[in-house]
Structure 1
């Protein structure tokens, strides 16, 4: 009887141990699953119900990292509308992050990217083509597609994602027809137009030969157009030979060159640049065209004169070259170009002010820059505290007290009160 009881006890113990092990295994699997779900995410899926297209359209959207930081979030961001959204999204966003967010590069502004997914291949052909080319069942929905973007997608992005009116459209291959149709007949929609190896052969070279779709006599001042041309020509062809040959395989290159020549002969005010990517194919040229195109579109964004102050020994000879003045003028220009107020980040300005004193040994310039930060952020207590701390380090107690007290008018701060009690 005792042996039976012992056997039952052993079986119960083994069952309990087995259950514990299973629970541990399940917890491990759930933890591993959670870790997998916490992988790198660079976009979020969304959708919009379009009455114009009479269908639901899927979107994949990237928002800059600063959107999730209350101290750095901007009220508005430029928006990139990316055709063939899924295909182009990841490489484009990777490039944009590198040039706008990584390692304080700041060559491009942070932007929202809206990848517009195609419903299917048939829908792509219909949406991207401005005319029917004699086949209304397959082509001709381009005007309706642009109407959807303008009347439904623009308001949706601007309301839900802090998108601004500074807009860029990117179209590759057949998507280039959308870019050309927008530039030709709806130029108010975008500031920047990027066409990569556009299918300009469509409908008997519509955008090269049809006056309704010509850029001639259009006022395109303030608009930017970048054309990327891949090397899809036959072996042995050169740019000069392609211009005059009739080889079918060379038509992508030839038509793009013809468009460039036409635009150069027109007085439209269009700011255009193009590049022939001799070492790249129809597909691989997309990434480089986007990189070069955006550096062309936003060539004015990088604060290049900031480099003066990377030298410890730079001393401005004129008032215009003083750091605060250079900063203010640069960001005024950026704001004008973007179409809305764009100011430098608060911590960036205070960091430079500190450096001007500690690195360049120019305390007066430091004061000017701290005060510029107050001009940018007049209701933020930390900018007054930064200036007060600086005055205190310079033994200027009276000015330190004034600015500490100003900071306290916006927010109570125990540390500031303690400092005031010590110095007053």
Structure 2
């Protein structure tokens, strides 16, 4: 047993405060990665297609599966959407998402549904392009990456038109859709008229659809509002949201729109919106309900176990703090922050031998700092 005077113990706790800040920074450090670019051969389209892939932070080290976001017009949208996903995931707004960007070969041809007077060499190849996405690209992604069946299709302008088209042509292929400033005025509002008939038939629907327009006029704004009115009036259980983003134009809507769309799809992930979830068991129950909605188990974020454990340590509820850390360990057994909290708890409860064990474990896991070295030295003296 180690014997410490009060002043000696206070010195260690003061060092601990600074060390904890450094360890937290170490654990939360994030790096924005560049995507990988692949070329795959499409038999359906009879051409090569370039595909960009961005994996979420921690993908290479883990074994979990991920939701997938299929992003159209990747040559324009991929880099900043990858950064948005990275930031929203780190902020706890959404889970980690695998981003698949589809680079255009012939944008007008691929992203437009067939119309009455279309020249097929220039427009109206939407069905073949959808077949490419669902019959070739999705299997390729599943074969090469760890994916969960929940997937999102997202597009802007002609990409938004194609996204709306897909919600009715093959709605089960994607579970959620983001359509920004969709060109729904094309071909005499063909897709708007189709939607009016489609939702009258109680036809299959996806889990969520988000649609937005910017501060823009013309057929895009008018037709999209008509489409939104149709979906808002139907009672099929579809989660649908329409917004007019006043501060965005047709061209600039993508940044704000993709953020809003992702937050809508993953509504409930940001626990700051639920102040009533003030006990760890309430948070676990909340995530259980989210898991039921998305069709697979969603883990409570590490940050929640850390928050509740620290709160109990501040109020000296030692047994409850130990219980929370035991729950934390079940879901994140290799967490560096978990080891740090175990060390802190043992120090505060006077079990200096156990505290030393966990601080030395941190050191062996690669955490190096002057503060940590001083704590270990103090505990050994």
CA distance in 1 between counterparts of 2:264 and 2:66 reads 18
1:63/1:113 contact within 8 Å kept = yes
TM-score scaled by structure 2?
Answer: 0.75
After superposition, give the CA deviation of every residue in 1:280-338 in whole Å (9 maximum; x if it has no partner). Answer: 22101111111111111111112237867xxxxxxxxxxx853x312321332333333
Any unmatched runs of 5+ in structure 2? 1-30, 359-381
Q: Specify the alignment match of 1:327 in structure 2.
A: 283
Q: Helix, strand or coil: the match of 2:297?
A: coil
Match in the other structure for 2:100 = 114
**Any stretches of 5+ residues in structure 1 without a counterpart?**
1-38, 234-249, 309-319, 405-424
TM-score normalised over the length of structure 1: 0.68
- 2:42 equivalent to 1:50: yes
Say if 2:266 is the partner of 1:298: yes
Q: In 2, Cα distance between the equivalents of 1:382 and 1:268?
A: 45
Q: Deviations over 1:209-265 (max 9, x none)?
A: 2479733323456621111112222xxxxxxxxxxxxxxxx2111101111112223
Count of residue correspondences = 330
With over 3 angstroms needed to count, the CA separation of the structure-2 counterparts of 1:179 and 1:367, relative to structure 1, is same
State which of 221, 229, 252 in structure 1 corresponds to 2:213.
229
Q: CA deviation at 1:380?
A: 9.4
Distance 2:339 2:215 in 1: 57
Moved more, 212-221 or 266-275: 212-221
Q: Secondary structure at the match of 1:299?
A: coil
RCO (CA 8 Å, sep 6+): is it higher in 1 or 2?
2
Matched, 1:133 2:88: no
Provide the C-alpha distance between the structure 2 equivalents of 1:369 and 1:289, rounded to a whole number of angstroms. Answer: 38
SS of the residue 2:85 aligns to: helix
Whole-Å Cα distance in 2 between the matches of residues 49 and 341 of structure 1? 35
Specify the alignment match of 2:170 in structure 1.
186
Counterpart residue number, 1:76: 65
- Please name the residue that 2:20 is paired with: none
- 1:109/1:297 CA distance change after superposition, 3 Å: same
3-state secondary structure, aligned to 1:67: coil
Return the index of the structure with the highest Cα Rg.
1
1:166 aligns with 2:116: no
Shift of the 220–366 alpha-carbon distance from structure 1 to 2, 3 Å rule, reads farther
Cα RMSD, aligned residues only: 3.5
Distance 1:360 1:133 in 2: 71
CA contact (8 A) 1:349 1:369 kept: no
Distance in 2 (alpha carbons) for counterparts of 1:257 and 1:212 = 13
In structure 2, the CA distance between the partners of 1:394 and 1:283, relative to structure 1 (3 Å rule), is same
The aligned residue for residue 150 of structure 1 is 134
Contact 2:153 2:174 in 1 (8 A): yes
